[in-house]
Amino acid sequence: QEARLAELQKQIRALEATANKLPEFQREVQALEARLETLKRILPPEKEMPDLMRRVQYLAAQSSLNIKKFNPAAVSQKDFYVEVPINLDVEGTYHNLGAFLDRVSRMSRLVNVGNVKIKAQSKPTITSTISASAVAMTYVYKDAPPPVQAQKGKRPSPGAKR
């Protein structure tokens, strides 16, 4: 019984040491949750897509660009996120396009603008000297699917995936 008592006291000391670290673990969890919130602003959930599209359209208008085409394209599924491309065709001036790209780069949301093709207008005006097409790629965080729980009273078969 003395050996059992010594073993139990050893376990108690180990558990007390772990319990003493609880505040440190709680601070670490808070820091990680704050980081997750920051990352979710950069890579938000899908429900914010309409707002993002309005924002990009607003930035184009604010940059004095005339939007000719604004079409979301087929999404691409990745491990923990989804790529959402938006095809853009705009007309304006070279400097207006630069202002638009600068404004997009300052968004808190991650948006990459690529495949930019710029052409001179066949009949330029003071407010429209170029036409440009581009793909604005944004990303949506995919929450992990909830774990499948066994139905009440039934146990999963040994070969079943969990």
Q: Torsions phi, psi of 144, nearest 5? A: -65, 140
Task: Give the integer Cα–Cα distance in Å for 156 and 41.
Answer: 38
Q: Check residue 150 and give its pLDDT.
A: 47
- Could you tell me where the beta strands, DSSP code E, fall in 73-129? 76-77, 81-92, 111-120
- In this structure, the strands spanning 130-141 and 111-120 are antiparallel
List the single range of 48-52, 103-107, 122-126, 130-134 with lowest mean pLDDT: 48-52
Nearest to 95 by CA among 132, 143, 140: 132
Residue 116 pLDDT grade (very low, low, confident, very high; cuts 50, 70, 90): very high
Read off the pLDDT of each residue in 75-79 and give the average, rounded to a whole number.
81
Read off the pLDDT of each residue in 32-57 and give the average, rounded to a whole number.
73
Compute how many other C-beta atoms are within 10 angstroms of the C-beta atom of residue 63. 20
Read off the pLDDT of each residue in 39-64 and give the average, rounded to a whole number.
76
Is residue 90 within 8 A of residue 60, CB to CB? The reply is: yes
Read off the pLDDT of each residue in 133-154 and give the average, rounded to a whole number.
66
The alpha carbon of 51 is separated from its chain's Cα centroid by a whole number of angstroms, namely: 14
**Arithmetic mean of pLDDT over the chain:** 80
Q: Check residue 144 and give its pLDDT.
A: 57
Structure tokens at 26: 């709680």
**pLDDT reading at 160 higher than 60:** no
Greater pLDDT, 50 or 90 = 90
Q: Check residue 117 and give its pLDDT.
A: 94
SS3 161: coil
List the single range of 15-24, 34-43, 105-114 with lowest mean pLDDT: 34-43
Q: Check residue 48 and give its pLDDT.
A: 65
Region of 43 please: left (phi>0), alpha (psi -120 to 50) or beta.
beta
Greater pLDDT, 89 or 32 = 89
Region of 157 please: left (phi>0), alpha (psi -120 to 50) or beta.
beta
Residue 43 pLDDT grade (very low, low, confident, very high; cuts 50, 70, 90): low
